[in-house]
């Protein structure tokens, strides 16, 4: 347990007396919801030691410390006490401090979130040392309460800790494999590796049911379009994350799966009726609540059937209190999606959003655009009576209880010498490869192009990540390792006509061409590339390495596969399928519509071939 100094006196505003109702609410967080849900392991019963610690901690906190516990924010730098001038400058711009340690001291932060772009995740050893530095800063505070350290390690398309941490294929790929056990294993290993480096909360699993092929922000982050399949996999991941000592976080309530607007840049409106919401969006959340999920993240979306006010769900009391808390019986931590996103900032100012979110039923406020503005706004709202201190106490109690339940209070630090013995171990990497091998989906092989044979020279071309152009190279290496002669020609993220012409010329010199695409439905350059390659007469294999819907942009391709992700482990599985070393085991977890015949399927849910 972090030891806090008890000798310092502090001026405090009056601490509200916690009523029996509040105590009962804290004690029953995570209990079975009032709307029937699937059975499964829930959170452990609240112990008297836990309740005693939560209540005693709450009673000795100042209002400023309580409010600080309701915030989770990013910080820049590889260490908690960074002096890197670039990192210090950025921290000062939106935190008003130099580094993470100072942020904890100034705001009494309840949480910190890691990002690769913030310089937080350079290596497992560095992450572990950063985490320990943050917890030391919390231990040095009068409050002495450890920090929830979180990140978005969804696996697949959204990853903050890259190799050597174990990489899995992501949710839609796992759903293609149809193995609930595999989904659980992926979460367990991910959770073990996160906890080993001091990350005690994963902002995962994504629980949205993706029924809109044009969804620009969810897509392969979802387990697909089938609510029952998504519910099974979400529930399995919640159980395994939390058994690994990491708080799971469902996102994005009440369901972000049917939108063509990205809430990072706009405010989506979901037109589902209440009946449609209960049938499509609710099942994964309901199943995970029954498993005692630690946290639920809100969505910056408007759902008129659930709240006609026009407010996004993050600021909606009917949705967060009336629906999530009262109807579903959820009393765990509710955390917002980033408060820097356009979806929550369009209607109200940055000083109003955190106050309105708390009034709606939120417990933790994630990534406000300017920390001091948000922090001061909440303090002012309590002091002027818009928010009561009792309301603040309710949320702080939930946050404290989560920290106790995940063992962070008693064991906030990690053994940096033991990191290599957990992160990216041979057993973990082998499990990831075995799971990924069951996810590659073959949708068409009309020309009997597969399996590729070693006697033929193969061209690998197409899309690559602009930041780290390694996808085509990784596939080329994997095919080469399986005995094929391979030439690689990346066309970049958005192929120019010059690159398309170069790929077309190269394809004419190869009997077989493999071209990878990524979100080609919204990229005319990739569409022109595939059509140009088709016109050469080369035997063509097209692989969607993210959204499987790409084939709707060129429905005439003779051989088409989907991997749902473009990391090295997926490219290794793809190479094994292309060469016949393994059978393609994946089945579509979504329907691919036929653009020529609206309302019909080009490939139905469950489609998938073998290469026998």
Q: Report the catalytic residues.
A: 264, 337
Closest CA to 368 of 383, 385, 348, 390: 348
Q: Scanning the structure block, which residue is given the tokens 């908690």?
A: 80
Strands 559-562 and 441-445: antiparallel
Q: Which CA distances in Å does 33 have to 30, 85, 292, 327?
A: 8, 49, 9, 8
Task: Give all strands (DSSP E) within 329-369, no chain letters.
Answer: 333-335, 365-366
**How far is the C-alpha of 498 from the C-alpha of 515, rounded, in Å?**
16
The answer to whether 513 and 507 are in contact (CB under 8 A) is yes
Q: Which are the contacts of 477, defined by CB distance < 8 A and separation ≥ 6? A: none
The answer to whether 244 and 277 are in contact (CB under 8 A) is no
3 state SS of 602: strand
Tokens of 436: 């990924």
Q: Which CA distances in Å does 433 have to 66, 401, 464, 531?
A: 45, 37, 22, 32
Tokens of 280: 């499509």
**How far is the C-alpha of 123 from the C-alpha of 262, rounded, in Å?**
30
Half-sphere exposure of 212 (CA within 13 A, CB side): 20
Closest CA to 343 of 444, 270, 275, 393: 270
Residue 143 DSSP one-character state: S
Half-sphere exposure of 15 (CA within 13 A, CB side): 16
Query: Phi, psi (5° rounding) for residue 451?
Result: -80, 155
Judged on CB neighbours under 10 Å (0-12, 13-18, 19+), 422 is buried
Tokens of 300: 């910056």
Tokens of 428: 């973990």
The answer to whether 264 and 170 are in contact (CB under 8 A) is no
**How far is the C-alpha of 163 from the C-alpha of 165, rounded, in Å?**
4
**How far is the C-alpha of 149 from the C-alpha of 118, rounded, in Å?**
14
Q: At what angle do helices 426-436 and 568-578 cross, to 10 degrees?
A: 50
3 state SS of 251: strand
3 state SS of 295: strand
| Total length of the chain | 612
List, edge to edge, every strand of the sheet that includes 539-544. 441-445, 559-562, 539-544, 512-517, 457-463, 485-492
Closest CA to 295 of 160, 111, 136: 111
């Amino acid at each position: 347990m972090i030891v806090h100094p008890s000798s310092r006196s502090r001026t405090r505003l009056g601490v509200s007396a916690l009523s029996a109702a509040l105590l009962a609410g804290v004690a029953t967080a995570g209990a079975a919801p009032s709307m029937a849900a699937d059975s499964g392991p829930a959170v452990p019963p609240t112990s008297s030691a836990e309740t005693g610690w939560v209540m005693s901690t709450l009673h000795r906190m100042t209002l400023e410390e309580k409010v600080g516990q309701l915030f989770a924010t990013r910080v820049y730098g590889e260490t908690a006490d960074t002096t890197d001038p670039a990192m210090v400058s950025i921290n000062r711009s939106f935190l008003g401090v130099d580094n993470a340690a100072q942020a904890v001291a100034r705001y009494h932060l309840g949480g910190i979130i890691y990002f690769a772009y913030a310089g937080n995740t350079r290596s497992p050893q560095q992450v572990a040392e950063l985490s320990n530095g943050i917890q030391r800063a919390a231990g040095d505070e009068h409050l002495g309460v450890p920090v929830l350290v979180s990140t978005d390690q969804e696996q697949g398309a959204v990853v903050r800790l890259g190799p050597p941490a174990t990489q899995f294929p992501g949710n839609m790929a796992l759903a293609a494999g149809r193995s609930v056990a595999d989904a659980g294993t992926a979460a367990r290993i991910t959770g073990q590796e996160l906890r080993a480096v001091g990350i005690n909360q994963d902002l995962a699993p994504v629980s949205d049911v993706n029924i809109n092929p044009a969804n620009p922000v969810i897509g392969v982050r979802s387990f697909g379009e089938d609510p029952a399949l998504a519910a099974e996999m979400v529930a399995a991941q919640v159980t395994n994350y939390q058994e690994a000592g990491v708080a799971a976080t469902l996102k994005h309530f009440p369901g972000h799966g049917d939108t063509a607007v990205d809430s990072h840049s706009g405010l989506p409106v979901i037109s589902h009726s209440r009946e449609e919401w209960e049938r499509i969006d609710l099942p994964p959340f309901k199943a995970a609540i029954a498993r005692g999920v630690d946290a639920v993240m809100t969505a910056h979306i408007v759902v008129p059937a659930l709240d006609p006010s026009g407010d996004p769900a993050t600021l909606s009391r009917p949705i967060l209190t009336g629906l999530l808390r009262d109807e579903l019986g959820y009393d765990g931590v509710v955390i917002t999606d980033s408060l820097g996103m356009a979806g929550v900032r369009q209607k109200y100012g940055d000083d109003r959003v955190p106050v309105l979110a708390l009034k709606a039923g939120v417990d933790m406020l994630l990534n406000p655009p300017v920390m001091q503005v948000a922090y001061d706004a909440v303090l002012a709202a309590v002091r002027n009576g818009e928010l009561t201190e009792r309301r603040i106490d309710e949320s702080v109690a939930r946050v404290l209880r989560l920290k106790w339940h995940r063992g962070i209070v008693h064991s906030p630090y990690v053994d940096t010498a033991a990191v290599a013995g957990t992160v990216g171990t041979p057993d973990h990497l082998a499990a990831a490869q075995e799971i990924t091998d069951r996810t590659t989906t073959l949708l068409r092989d009309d020309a009997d192009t597969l399996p590729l044979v070693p006697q033929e020279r193969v061209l690998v071309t197409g899309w690559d990540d602009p930041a780290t152009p390694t996808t085509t190279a990784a596939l080329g290496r994997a095919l080469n390792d399986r005995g094929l002669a391979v030439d690689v020609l990346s066309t970049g993220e958005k192929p120019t006509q010059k690159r398309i012409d170069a790929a077309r010329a190269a394809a004419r010199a190869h009997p077989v061409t493999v071209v990878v695409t990524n979100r080609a439905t919204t990229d005319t350059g990739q569409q022109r590339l595939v059509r140009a390659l088709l016109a050469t007469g080369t035997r063509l294999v097209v692989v969607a390495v993210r959204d499987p819907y790409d084939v709707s942009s060129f429905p005439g391709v003779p051989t088409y596969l989907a991997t749902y992700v473009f990391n090295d482990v997926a490219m290794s599985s793809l190479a094994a399928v292309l060469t016949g070393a393994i059978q393609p085991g994946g089945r579509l977890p979504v329907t691919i519509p036929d653009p020529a015949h609206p309302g019909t399927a080009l490939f139905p849910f469950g489609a998938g071939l073998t290469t026998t």
